Amino acid sequence: MTIYFLLFFTTVQAQQANSYVQQGNDAYNRSAFAEAMDEYKKALSIEPDNNAALFNSGNTLHKLGRDAEAEKYYEKFNDAVDRNIKAKAMFNKAVVQVNQHKLTDAIESFKQSLMLDPADNDARENLQKAINELRKQQQANKPNNQSKPKDDKNKSKEASQETINQKFDELRDKEKQLQKALRKKPTTKNPEKDW
């Protein structure tokens, strides 16, 4: 009899937790996100591993702009969970990571989602977008890192141009001095030849 009591008790608990989840879903659909979060927390206090409450808590926190907290709820899905649910949780985790500018983490989460559900085209497309965005950021950072060598090249170019200008000025000055010297030189007449 004790076993039946526990099963009955567990079923009653699950029903109560699911009731809170349903109330949370209703609040979520009305965009009453704070109220929805309260209901999901009630469900999780009764049944901490309630997949719907965990998943929907993450979604609600995302809507509330609390992506770091949402990420933690998506991480709670372990390998014992249905693959489709876990794949969706990894997808949502990746989305909140993108919002937090954690592109490397998001790429890994999208990959995990695809390993669990290889047919998910949204995950594939978002993975590609995240990879492209990361590349773009890396390329944007490269010129900043390489700007110093370019500046050094420009400085050395300017220095060599300055040196060339100095040499050119020196040559011009020497030419002027030479022309002055030639002008000052007395001209000598060739003596007439004596025959």
pTM score: 0.66
Distance of CA 100 to the CA centre of its chain: 8
The tens digit of pLDDT for each residue in 51-89 reads: 899 999 999 999 999 999 999 999 887 666 788 889 999
| pLDDT surpasses 90 at 186 | no
- Identical fold for domains 9-76 and 80-144, yes or no, is yes
> Cα angle at 100 between 99 and 104, to 5 degrees?
100
Domain 80-144 = CATH 1.25.40.10: yes
The tens digit of pLDDT for each residue in 20-59 reads: 999 999 999 999 999 999 999 999 999 998 889 999 999 9
The stretch 101-128 carries a mean pLDDT of 94
pLDDT at 127: 94
CB 59 within 8 A of CB 30: no
Q: Which CATH class is domain 9-76?
A: mainly alpha
Domain ranges of the chain: 9-76, 80-144
Tell me which DSSP letter residue 134 carries.
Answer: H
Percentage above 90 pLDDT, the chain: 54
